[in-house]
Amino acid sequence: MAAFDYQRASIPIRSDLPAAHRRYWDRLAKPGTWWTGVERVAIARESRNAVTCAFCAARRVALSPYAFAGEHEHAHALPTRVVDAVHRIVTDQARITRAWVSDNAANGLSNEAYVELAGIVVAVLSIDEFHRALGLELEPLPEPIPGEPSGYRPTHLAHDIGFVPTIPPEGAVGPEADLWPGGRTANVLRALTLVPDALRDWRHLSAAQYLSFDEMRNFEQSRDRSLNRMQIELVAARVSAINECFY
Amino acid sequence: MLRVSTQVTGTAVDLGAINDAERAALDLPLGGELVRFAEAVAYRDADALTRTRKALLDAGGAQVLVDAAGVAANFQRMVRIADATGIPVDNMSSDLSAEIRSRLSLDQFASARNTPGALS
C-alpha cells in the first residue's frame, strides 16, 4: 500500500495533500546534504519522541531551559546533542538562542547540519500534526536509502539575520535561482537557505498545507480552498500566538 | 496577513479575534469554530481536538476541516523555523507592524529578542 493512503480517512482529503506528504517521505529517506538517509529518518523519529518526552515537558515549564538537567526519552540512534536539538525545536523553540546554536556548532553540530535537521524536524512535525488534527494514524517512517550526503553549500551566503548564515535576497542565482521568484523574499524564506533543499521541501509542503507562493499574493479567495484568506490567516495567527511566535 | 486580507477585502475584523473565539465568531463565518480548532491543534489537546473537529465538520463541512487542519499543521512548522533560526521580523518600522505588535502584546514573547528594537 502506498504511503499516505487517505482513502481510509472518514472524510475526503484533496489529492495535493497526500502527494506533498508522499514526496516529502521519499526525500526524507534519501541521503540529504549533511545527513545520511539513516540519520534523517532517525531525526524524524526523534521529532516524534519529543512530543511525548517527559524531560521536555518538565523543561518546558522551567524558568530557564539551560539550567535544567536530565535526559530525553529517545531512541539512542543519535548523539545526545543532536537529540537535544530535535527535542528543543519541537517542544521549546521560543527559547532557542544564538548562544546555544553557536555552542552546538563549536561542539560538532555544525550550522549546516543544524539547518538540515531543523528542516526535517519541522516537516515531519507538520505532517504528523495534520494527521493528529484529523484523527488519523501517523504514517510509518520510510525505510532509509543508503548513500552519502552531498555536502553542498551555496556560494552566496550572508550572516546578516538570525543565528545561521542564509542566502541574501540578491543571492538566489545559479543553482539557487529557483528559491524565490522575482528577487523578492522574506526572512522566513531565507531562514533555511544554508541548505537550499530545506527551503524547497518547505515550499512543497506549504503549497499543499497552506498556500503556494502565487496564492500567497491572493488576499481574497483561493480557487482550491474552501476557507477564504481571512479564515486561513485566523487559524495561522491563532496557532502562531499559542506558540508565542514573535515573527 | 490577517490584517492585510481584511484591508484588501474591506472586511472589519478585530485583531483581538485571534485570541478570542467569541469575538472571532462575530467577525468571520466559522470564526469561533476555527479558533477553537486551531487552539486544540496547537495545544495537542486530544479531547478538545475530538470536540472541535466535530464542531468544525458539522458547521463547515469536510473540506473546511481539511483546509483548517492543513493550515494549523503548517504553522506548527512555520513558528519553529522562525524561532530555531532566530530570524527577525522583516518590517519592524511599519505602522501596521507596530499596531499588530501592540494589539497582541507580541513584544512579551521570548522570541521578540531576535528582532532588534522589539524589546526597547
Contact status of A6 with chain B (Cβ, < 8 Å)? no
Q: Are the beta carbons of B15 and A230 closer than 8 angstroms?
A: no
Percent of chain B having pLDDT more than 70?
61
Please provide the size of chain A in residues: 247
Tens digit of pLDDT for each residue in A112-170? 999 999 999 999 999 999 999 999 999 999 999 999 999 999 999 999 999 999 999 99
Which pLDDT score is estimated for A198? Answer: 98
Which pLDDT score is estimated for A1? Answer: 67
Distance CA B73, CA A202 (A): 13
Which pLDDT score is estimated for A8? Answer: 84
- List phi, psi (to 5°) of A64: -135, 135
Query: What are the pLDDT tens digits along chain B (120 aa)?
Result: 766 666 666 676 666 767 776 777 777 899 999 999 999 999 999 999 999 999 999 999 999 999 999 999 999 998 899 999 999 988 756 665 566 656 666 666 666 677 666 654
Residues of B within 8 A of A242 (CB-CB) are: 38-39, 42-43
Residues of B within 8 A of A220 (CB-CB) are: 5, 8-9
ipTM of the complex: 0.93
Contact status of B120 with chain A (Cβ, < 8 Å)? no
A71 to each of A19, A51, A90, A133, B80, how far by Cα in Å? 37, 14, 16, 29, 22
Average per-residue pLDDT for chain B: 81
Q: Which of B44, B77, B110 sits opposite A122 (nearest CB)?
A: B77
Kindly report the three-state secondary structure assignment for every residue of chain A: CCCCCHHHCCCCCCCHHHHHHHHHHHHHHCCCCCCCHHHHHHHHHHHHHHHCCHHHHHHHCCCCHHHCCCCCCCCCCCCHHHHHHHHHHHHCHHHCCHHHHHHHHHCCCCHHHHHHHHHHHHHHHHHHHHHHHHCCCCCCCCCCCCCCCCCCCCCCCECCCCCCCECCHHHCCHHHCCCCHHHCCCHHHHCCCCCHHHHHHHHHHHHHHCCCHHHHCCCCCCCCCCCCHHHHHHHHHHHHHHCCCCC
Which pLDDT score is estimated for A109? Answer: 98
Which pLDDT score is estimated for A19? Answer: 97
Distance CA B47, CA B61 (A): 20
Please tell me whether residue B1 adopts helix, strand or coil conformation.
coil
Residues of B within 8 A of A17 (CB-CB) are: 66, 70
Q: Are the beta carbons of A219 and B8 closer than 8 angstroms?
A: yes
Distance CA A195, CA A105 (A): 15
Yes or no, beta carbons of A11 and B65 under 8 Å apart: yes
b/e A105-133 (16+ beta carbons within 10 angstroms → b): beeebebbbbbbbbbbbbbbbbbbbbbbb
Which pLDDT score is estimated for B63? Answer: 97
The residues with which B49 forms a beta bridge, in sequence order, are none
Yes or no, beta carbons of A246 and B89 under 8 Å apart: yes
Yes or no, beta carbons of A236 and B75 under 8 Å apart: yes
Distance CA A35, CA A26 (A): 15
Mean pLDDT, each 10-residue run in order, chain A (247 residues):
88 97 98 98 98 94 84 91 97 94 97 98 98 97 98 96 96 95 87 98 96 82 89 93 77
**Chain A interface, best mutation among B51, B58, B77, by max A CB count within 10 A:** B77
Kindly report the three-state secondary structure assignment for every residue of B7-73: HHHCCCCCHHHHHCHHHHHHHCCCHHHHHHHHHHHHHCCHHHHHHHHHHHHHHHCHHHHHHHHHHHH
Which pLDDT score is estimated for B109? Answer: 66
